[in-house]
Amino acid sequence: MYALLPRLLSNYGAIGYSMKGYINNKEVSFESGQTILEVARAHNKFIPTLCELADINHRPGTCRVCLVDVKRESESEHHILPSCMTPMEEGMAVLTRTTEVREKQRLQVEMLLADHNQDCATCIRHGNCELQDVAQFVGLQQTRYSFPEFYQNRSRDFSSPSIVRDMTKCIRCFRCVNICRKLQGVDALVCREDGLAIEISPRDNMPLAESGCISCGQCITVCPVGALAEKDEIEQALDYLYDPEIVTVVQFAPAVRVAVGEEFGFKLGENVEGKMIAAFRELGVDVILDTNFTADLVIMEEGSELLARLKDKDAVLPMFTSCCPGWVNFVEKYYPQMLDNLSTARSPQQCLGSMAKTYLAQKMDIDPARMRVISIMPCTAKKGEAGRDDFNHEGMRDVDMVLTTREFARLLKREGVDLASMEDDSFDNPWMSDYSGAGAIFGNSGGVMEAAVRTVHKVVTGNEIEDIEYTQVRGESSYRKATVDLGEGGKVNIAVIHTLKEARKLIEQIEAGRSDLHFIEVMACPGGCVCGGGQPVTKHSYQGNRGMRTSGLFSIDKKRKVRQSHNNPMIAEIYKSFLGEPLGDKSHHLLHTKYTNRQLKRTSHSMLEIWQEIDDKS
């Protein structure tokens, strides 16, 4: 071993040591430990990739598309190696575009396509597919090989109301496994079988709807092809829009307006609210509402619930927010013993559906049976949330269907509506459309907590909080903690969490008695709804647009005349004329919910069974 040490040091250099090599006959400098691909990118030398995703440190080397010609300084032979897994060495000469490299890259892509379902015209990722991009780059002009017998035997799962899993399109990049296991800490996906039969499956080979999947959709945002996708409901939306007997009511979430513009060439994070309203009118939508309105409503209910719990020495604390359905799914499936810690307040989406078919129907003299509420959401889990048994009134669903941001963009394109050419329009509903800045920041991690702090401080102290932009709960960290001084109401310890891996850590601290928190906001998706599983996908990037979307929502808040939920005049009116008071009988019936223990029955395997399975396969 010690005899090898000089060669190892010569090849790879000391840690942090600057080294030099060559890419396409040009000298490049790099640090020891960097891969050829990393060095090439640092020097603007393009190498195609497919399975690799640098943002999540994922480079399994399974696709072999990133092949390059490598000659080490100490050797005379040339080698064709994957650049994503091969360390750059002192004096190494790398060629990225030789005839042999290009031929082998084309062959690799042909092999990927050979057992891939090539019905591209009907694929949800048609025109936005990384495999199509790579095929174009390597100059693939025909596919000589096709083995449909391989992919036709792979599974397709439509059991989930939120996500479709189609393994006939999977290229085995394993990005989804990585994101579910390492970032979210859910670990719902595993690799099943081996060789040509290998596929990604829910753990214990369960249907997706019955598995440990919490429908956050982060797997979709990293999938390079159409193997994982939202359940498409555009046809149902068109049926509603073109049925003259139906009154269509559309609501859209705060995060949608700062993301959907990416699909139409707008600047990143640009607020296209006015153009969305114009587009809805072009589509023939009857009533256009804003989910921000019921975000304000949720703050009134959730804030009142928190204060009630703080005053009751027997109440369950800490209290968790409940507006994120992925988080609710996580608690119901993995920590049902914490269900009493969840706020009973419904999410803004569900509150709007409930109010639309009661309060608004009365105000507009519309039979609620004719109404169909369509939500435009940044979230795949919202599809499942809308179908929960508790969310209906007199036999009618409160929210009839949910389209993700991606589906909404596809709907506009199918109907020939160019968002970029729309003139800005504004809401005109006099009962349920106005919103505060607090409602707008719901789409950011920490936004729900900041909105709640603004209102709770006013309710307890009688005074508006001085620093309305409560920056203690803003930021990128996945766990943020602060203490709010409510004067005679005492001090309240709060926390903001995003990603379920971080949520799991905190729950375990709470159960161990190592937490002094009173109120906790949890968002399943990193960064909150702005990077929800239904938002536009950025190829070869994970959450590359997060910062601009976040800034877009904070900008909306800053520009609003009213920035606190309790100061929204429409909120005051709905309580005065319809609901009565927060936590009252009517609001409890229409704006609150209950949760269900759906704890998973996991299959346990003994070590003997695991080794037996390995022996059987070998």
pLDDT single digits (tens) 61-118: 999 999 999 999 999 999 999 999 999 999 999 999 999 999 999 999 999 999 899 9
201 membership: H or E segment, kind and range: strand 199-202
200 membership: H or E segment, kind and range: strand 199-202
DSSP string of 28-40, one letter each residue: EEEETT-BHHHHH
Distance CA 371, CA 426 (A): 22
Helices (H), 418-472: 437-440, 447-461
3-state secondary structure of 289: strand
Is 108-230 CATH 3.20.20.70? no
Question: Residue 615's CB: how many other CB atoms inside 10 A?
Answer: 8
DSSP string of 210-255, one letter each residue: GSS-----HHHHH-SSSSEEE---HHHHHHHHT-TT-EEEEEE-GG
Question: In this predicted structure, what is the pLDDT of residue 605?
Answer: 60
Q: Per the structure block, which two tokens stand in for 17?
A: 């040591």
Question: In this predicted structure, what is the pLDDT of residue 17?
Answer: 61
Query: Which residue ranges of the chain lie beneath pLDDT 70?
Result: 1-17, 602-607, 609-610, 612-618
- For the chain, what are the domain ranges? 2-97, 108-230, 234-591
Question: Residue 598's CB: how many other CB atoms inside 10 A?
Answer: 13
| Contact yes or no for 83/68 (Cβ under 8 A) | yes
70 membership: H or E segment, kind and range: strand 67-71
Question: Residue 96's CB: how many other CB atoms inside 10 A?
Answer: 20
Question: In this predicted structure, what is the pLDDT of residue 472?
Answer: 92
Distance CA 410, CA 229 (A): 13
**Backbone dihedral angles phi then psi of residue 27, each to the nearest 5 degrees:** -70, 135
Q: Helix count (H) and strand count (E) of the chain? A: 22, 20
Question: In this predicted structure, what is the pLDDT of residue 606?
Answer: 62
190 burial level (CB within 10 Å; 0-12, 13-18, 19+):
middle
| Contact yes or no for 346/373 (Cβ under 8 A) | no
Q: HSE-up of 314 (CA within 13 Å, CB side)?
A: 0
Q: Per the structure block, which two tokens stand in for 159?
A: 């059991």
Question: In this predicted structure, what is the pLDDT of residue 4?
Answer: 40
Question: In this predicted structure, what is the pLDDT of residue 6?
Answer: 39
pTM: 0.93
3-state secondary structure of 412: helix
What CATH architecture applies to the domain 234-591? 3-Layer(aba) Sandwich (3.40)
- At the topology level of CATH, where does 2-97 sit? Ubiquitin-like (UB roll) (3.10.20)
Distance CA 403, CA 258 (A): 16
Question: In this predicted structure, what is the pLDDT of residue 14?
Answer: 45
Do the domains at 2-97 and 234-591 have one common CATH topology?
no
Q: What b/e sequence results for 65-93 when a residue is b if at least 16 CB atoms lie within 10 Å of its CB, and e otherwise? A: bbbbbbbbeeeeeeebbbbbebbbbbebb
